Structure 1
């Protein structure tokens, strides 16, 4: 059975998931809800600390940070799975660590996915259209995905647009 890979980046992603389910015919597909813990920030924190204080972050602190990130990721995926089940979609969850764009593309390249659904920008980002309207993860996925990509954009209300704008026929 083929899967639709849906990138889930935050708690409260239910509206994006609902938009995906109403935008794509998913009969016969499993939703693969994926979240990637971006451990690059953890490495940057350790680097900054070692430069400023002359010593790296203690190992137990790194483990605590990692545990907190995994707990948050588990909550994010759990909420998304609850929304998918409420909407009648079969789903699986996948949790990875690394650079999010690369990990999502690698997951899709595994051969099971026919489509990637991803938000165009993080929720706190500027919503204006234009050359900077894609976040770095979405841009990497769009540029490197081996399968089609469906971008979901939030509208000014903060909620994703649930349907594409109507098609206006051309007048000859």
Structure 2
């Protein structure tokens, strides 16, 4: 069994725990993936103007380095928590496209709810996660990181006509 875990800030511990539980005592192969969203342009047009001319490129490179370092640390922590020897992938690009492509190579993809966690419903999914869930060509295990909101968080039904 091949299990991929989408490692993102705020959701990865619950997703890694779910992967361990799903695998149980089987000889599962794990893939941990984090995708740094990158459009190819500068990090933030407003940010560069604060830095000044000639230093923007250096600032963009420094932000990229710091982002890669933080992502690498998060993936290392996820691998330790998993307690297995996973394949670890740190990629850049459109997260929804990269993760969906990986989903074609695994039996299960584990993702965490990354939107509004205060209530049940579609707003509990971010746009990238929604895309992956809608397009993944494998089984998807969707995880609530933390406490699950109660059924009382669902809006009431519309009034009868």
Question: Shorter-chain TM-score: which interval?
Answer: 0.7 to 0.9
CA distance in 2, matches of 1:67, 1:44: 12
SS in 2 for 1:129: coil
SS in 2 for 1:69: helix
CA distance in 2, matches of 1:43, 1:35: 20
How many equivalent residue pairs? 149
Taking structure 1 as reference, are residues 52 and 70 closer, same or farther at Cα in structure 2, changes over 3 Å only? closer
Measured after TM superposition, the shift of residue 35 of structure 1 is 0.5
Instruction: Compute the RMSD of aligned alpha carbons.
Output: 3.1
Task: Give 2:112's aligned residue.
Answer: 119
Measured after TM superposition, the shift of residue 94 of structure 1 is 0.5
TM-score, structure 1 normalization = 0.72
Q: Deviations over 1:23-54 (max 9, x none)?
A: 454613211011111124974613x4578999
Query: After superposition, where does 1:34-53 map in structure 2 within 5 Å?
Result: 34-40=33-39, 43=42, 45-46=44-45, 48-49=46-47
Task: Give 1:63's aligned residue.
Answer: 61
TM-score, structure 2 normalization = 0.76
CA distance in 2, matches of 1:142, 1:56: 42
Task: Give 1:93's aligned residue.
Answer: 88
Q: Which runs of 5+ in 2 are unaligned?
A: 150-161
CA distance in 2, matches of 1:41, 1:128: 35
Q: Deviations over 1:130-159 (max 9, x none)?
A: 12121112101101111111100134389x
Q: Which runs of 5+ in 1 are unaligned?
A: 159-172
**Are 2:129 and 1:138 equivalent residues in the alignment?**
yes
Taking structure 1 as reference, are residues 11 and 68 closer, same or farther at Cα in structure 2, changes over 3 Å only? farther
Measured after TM superposition, the shift of residue 83 of structure 1 is 0.8
Task: Give 2:138's aligned residue.
Answer: 147
Q: Answer yes or no: is the 8 Å Cα contact 1:32–1:91 preserved in 2.
A: yes
CA distance in 2, matches of 1:90, 1:126: 31
Task: Give 2:18's aligned residue.
Answer: 19
